[in-house]
Amino acid sequence: MTKPNAVESMLKEACLISKANWAVRAVYENTGWHVLETHHLSKSRAVALQAFLADKINAAWLGGALSGGRSRSRTCTLEKNCHKVYLFPAFGGGEWLFIVGVADDLPRQAQQVWRLASMLACETTDSEGGQTRELRQAVSELEETQQELRARIAAQREAEARLVQAAKLAAVGEMAAGIAHELNNPLTSVVGFTELSLDALPLESDLRHDLELVLREANRARSVIRRLLDFARQREVLRTRADINEIVDDVVALTKHLLLTSGVELRLKLSENLPWVFIDRNQIKQVLINLINNALYAMPQGGALVVETCLQTRHGASFLALAVRDSGIGISPEDLERIFEPFFTTRGDQGGTGLGLSVTYGIVTEHGGTIEVESRMNSGSAFTVLFPMESPA
């Protein structure tokens, strides 16, 4: 026999969650349909429901839902504030169903609540455990499907974000190439005539200081333009199998003096026996140098810099990770979404051009990799470059 208290509790909870007016569990016997457990069924509602169940057309409709094993709905006014009736048959077979009265259509989520309630009610009324096994199997399948769906949504969002960033870089790259070429020609003339003027001036001339300042600034502008062209130009890439740890050692040797003079302590965490990756060595050196320079700017008073290599897994795939973590000032949440945009910089007064991370993003993307960023204000930042482990075509 059933457990009325347990089933009635299910009816009550399901009604509250789905905002249904009332609900009953009805069973079909030889003499017709009979109401078992109920919730919020007043005397007037009970009388109207009994008349509804006694009607032959309605009885056939209920029987069809029971034999088909699927929920059904029907517009059928039993009272003033009830305009629709839903049927939810016993999960996995049986001789009963839930009859639910509502004022309007039940949303899909509310219908799922009642399907789950029918599963639980079957477990309660099942004495042999067969329905329990079916219920557990169904719940397990639902959980696996939900996890798979979440993973796919996360992967899709990540891919969409990368496509948007790539589109931004492509558009700005075309514009940057045109602007750089237009500015490069007059700057070449400025540098050339300034050098000629300096050669013609005597060493004690008062104008030499001003002209030397003009020459330095012109060369700095040419350096910015050269970086713009590097950002926009599609250069030939020479990729070979390389050891990422060797690249780290080379870059550390180049930047060691700068780290010492900046009061930054370098900590290397290089995993041994890492597989080689198919990369352009010079481009990846540029990526690491850009990330280290970015970390140094974030630690004006010194700090700790960690460079780490290891294997990591994302969405079931293996990647070679190159991580650069600092203990600097961090990146604000509003700036974090824009750090890879060309020309976006928070240190314009310190000579920043906003191209370092944009170039880094472009190089990593061309290698089929991704960059992950984590940062907290006054707690430092972490940039993780992930290289795919696929073999070259």
Q: Residues 209-221: what's their mean pLDDT?
A: 85
Contact 327, 262 (CB under 8 A): no
CA 356 from chain centre, in angstroms, equals 24
Highest mean pLDDT among 60-64, 66-70, 349-353: 60-64
Residue 45, CB-side half-sphere exposure with 13 Å CA sphere: 19
User: Which phi-psi region, left, alpha or beta, contains residue 303 (left: φ > 0; alpha: ψ -120 to 50)?
Assistant: left
pLDDT in tens, 240-253: 889 999 999 988 88
Lowest mean pLDDT among 134-143, 211-220, 383-392: 134-143
pLDDT in tens, 119-128: 877 766 654 4
**Token pair listed for 96:** 């009963």
- The proportion of the chain whose per-residue pLDDT surpasses 90, expressed as a percent, equals 21
Tell whether the model's pLDDT for residue 94 goes beyond 80. Answer: no
Question: For position 346, what pLDDT does the model report?
Answer: 64
* Average pLDDT of the residues of the chain: 81
Give me the phi and psi of 171, to 5 degrees please.
-65, -45
Amino acid at 309: T
Tell whether the model's pLDDT for residue 57 goes beyond 80. Answer: yes
CA 255 from chain centre, in angstroms, equals 34
Tell whether the model's pLDDT for residue 280 goes beyond 60. Answer: yes
Q: Label residue 269 by pLDDT band (50, 70, 90).
A: very high
Question: For position 247, what pLDDT does the model report?
Answer: 92
Amino acid at 303: G
Listed residue (168, 141, 98) closest to 361, CA to CA: 168
Question: For position 70, what pLDDT does the model report?
Answer: 84
pLDDT in tens, 330-359: 988 888 877 877 666 665 555 555 667 878
Number of neighbouring beta carbons within 10 Å of residue 107: 11
Distances in Å between the Cα of 310 and the Cα atoms of 77, 119, 273, 369 are 67, 47, 10, 15
- The proportion of the chain whose per-residue pLDDT surpasses 70, expressed as a percent, equals 79
Number of neighbouring beta carbons within 10 Å of residue 46: 14
Question: For position 344, what pLDDT does the model report?
Answer: 65
Structural domains in the chain, sorted by start: 4-125 (3.30.450.40), 146-234 (1.10.287), 238-393 (3.30.565.10)
Cα(59)–Cα(56) distance, rounded to whole angstroms?
5
Lowest mean pLDDT among 10-24, 35-49, 351-365: 351-365
